[in-house]
Amino acid sequence: MDFQHVQRTLLLERWRETRQLGQPRSACGPANRISDVAGVRVGHSTLNAGETQTGVTAIVPPGDNLFLTPLPCGAEVLNGFAKPVGLVQIEELGVLQTPILLSNTLAVGTLFTTLVRDAIRRNPELGRTLPTVNPLALECNDGWLNDIQALAVSEAMAQTALQTASADFARGSVGAGRGMSCFSLKGGIGTASRLIPSLSATLGVLVLANFGALEALTLDGVRAGEMIVPLLPGHTPQRDAGSVIIIMATDAPLEARQLKRLAKRAGAGLGRLGSHWGHGSGDIAVAFSTQPLPQPPQEEQLEPLLAAAADATEQAVLDALLSAEAVTGFRGHHRPSLTQILDRLTS
């Protein structure tokens, strides 16, 4: 019996006994969600209507008016096959001026307009006696399960996601995650958090997972994709494409440059899952601090945060896969859930 076989057996036994995957390398926050960072809220608007399977997810930082009191922010483009809006000014100025909206690729314009209207409502002189605002909207292509040409995402949906944001939120096939695929399985929204005792801080991560080739899927260090492929005869393989968005929040008072370093470590978490950020994938990480006045720690003090960023990103994707329900959508295309597949392997 080879070592890989032993690893797979142990993985399936753990799933059968606990229905859990992922071994955190450091302590989680109380809810193991991005909202463990005080003041951070998440909201969804989901459209489940036959061939239209899509939605919007909002990540709302603390603060009533981010335009007047922006937060430190950094971003890392791991692979730039993407159509976001707002990253150029974040790279230049290092601040977040609006909540963050996520949806499908062809909805970015709608998300932009929604965030502009929200900022104008709070700042009536915006663009007149005040400067214009820099909305942050990011996307993944959900066109396999969703009729993306229908342009079904509306400003009302985006406003609903913003207005219903709370610390207790759904994950999986909801909001922007409704039509997303991950490793040829159902992807979507996932989250995780880690405690950083040395900085008296919390790091939270939320992902929109829509990437990965099934054969490469690695769960807890085990090439599980190779076990799953025979269970999906005739399935349409997913390339390591489609994109993933990683949003990180922390209450550590980091400056923009340090937040960019933090965002970059999302790539290590994606690599542990078996992704190489293939051609056709927009893999983008954004990190912000909830502390508007940075008091940057020494660089060596960042080490546990950097490790936690990789760890929490990996677990947030696992959370998306394990929380998602199977979806059938555009042209009858179907993505099964990871839980369905693992249950079949252990039955």
Q: Which residues are catalytic?
A: 243, 281, 283
Residues with Cβ within 8 Å of residue 100, at least 6 apart in sequence: 58, 59, 136, 137, 138, 247, 286
Contact in structure between 165 and 44 (CB atoms under 8 Å): no
Contact in structure between 201 and 252 (CB atoms under 8 Å): yes
Residue recorded with tokens 């720690």:
297
Q: List b or e across 314-338, with b for residues whose CB sees 16 or more CB atoms inside 10 angstroms.
A: bbbbbbbbbbbeebebbeebebbbb
Residues with Cβ within 8 Å of residue 156, at least 6 apart in sequence: none
Residues with Cβ within 8 Å of residue 80, at least 6 apart in sequence: 282
Here the tokens at position 332 are 């009858």
Tell me how far apart the alpha carbons of residues 347 and 344 are, in angstroms, rounded to a whole number: 5
Here the tokens at position 110 are 């709608």
Q: Which residues pair with 43 in a beta bridge?
A: 58
Tell me how far apart the alpha carbons of residues 289 and 346 are, in angstroms, rounded to a whole number: 42
Residue recorded with tokens 């790091």:
203
Tell me how far apart the alpha carbons of residues 221 and 304 are, in angstroms, rounded to a whole number: 21
Strand pairing class (71-80; 282-289): antiparallel
| Three-state DSSP class for residue 240 | coil
Q: In 3D, which of 150, 184, 142, 182 has the Cα closest to residue 57?
A: 142
Please report, as a single letter, which amino acid is at residue 89: Q
